[in-house]
Chain A
Amino acid sequence: MNSTTYNDIDILLIHNNIDQHSCSIAIKCKKLIKERIKNSDIVMLSINEEKELCFIEKSQALMIGYIRNSSMNKDVKLISNKILKQHNKTLEKHS
């Protein structure tokens, strides 16, 4: 997929815990997603941090998918495509 520019695509990346390894994986995912969706705003929170802030509830976030460390590139590509598809549908609906 070519890099695509959007407005107002907010993404929440939830990772396992606050140790450096888990955070590094989240940072790597964030970089890969931003390469594909330039104007995405990405929040990274561990499972517990998300619980503390009730971020999903407050933002009414929708589940997009899982990213595994062992297949990160493939998973990010799938998720980015899914976002693109959904975003295009939304744009069509409002055009």
Chain B
Amino acid sequence: MAAYSEDFPWLSYYGQYDFFEDRMEEHSNVKAITKISPSLFTITLHNDTELKVFVCECYSYGMAEYYETVENLGNVDIIIISSLWCSYTGDVRYQCYLKGVGVFNIKGFMGALNAQNPCKYLTKGEKEYYKEQGLKI
């Protein structure tokens, strides 16, 4: 299954992201969260950085889904794959990182929000892996 919703933007079963919103409201580095549409948010950090965040439930989010997202919503800063049973590919994580777009699950994004630039946040493991592979970071 691609996602619950048959149409873009692959909304959750309930058509909302309460769990994501609750986690954002709890985060110490988040000043405000504004819902633009059911799956699109602006997260304002305490340093007044604004992040355009797309949240989706897509069974396997790959590069084609990324281009489809941009085609439908324009450029975004962060893409969150919100369900535990959904995932993203290594390619989309790395290619989006190079473009300055962060692709995370909710837990990963909670960690990224503490970084100076959440869009370019990599875990220690990711940094090591990319270095081992000879990839630019």
Contacts and interface: CB of A to CB of B under 8 A. Distances in A.
Contacts, number: 65
A15 B91 CA distance: 14
Interface in B20-70: 59-60, 62-68
B108 interface: no
A49 B65 contact: no
Interface in A41-90: 41-46, 48-49, 52-53, 55
B63 A49 contact: yes
Interface in A24-44: 24, 26-27, 30, 34, 38-44
A57 to B, nearest CB: 13
Contacts of B2: 10, 41-43
B6 A43 contact: no
Interface residues of B, number: 20
Contacts of B83: none
Contacts of A38: 6
Nearest to A37: B6
A38 B90 CA distance: 30
A46 B1 contact: no
B60 A46 contact: no
B103 to A, nearest CB: 13
A10 B65 CA distance: 16
Contact of B89 (A10, A30, A39, A45): A45
Interface of A: 10, 13, 15, 18, 20, 22-24, 26-27, 30, 34, 38-46, 48-49, 52-53, 55
Interface of B: 1-3, 6, 59-60, 62-68, 71, 87, 89-92, 95
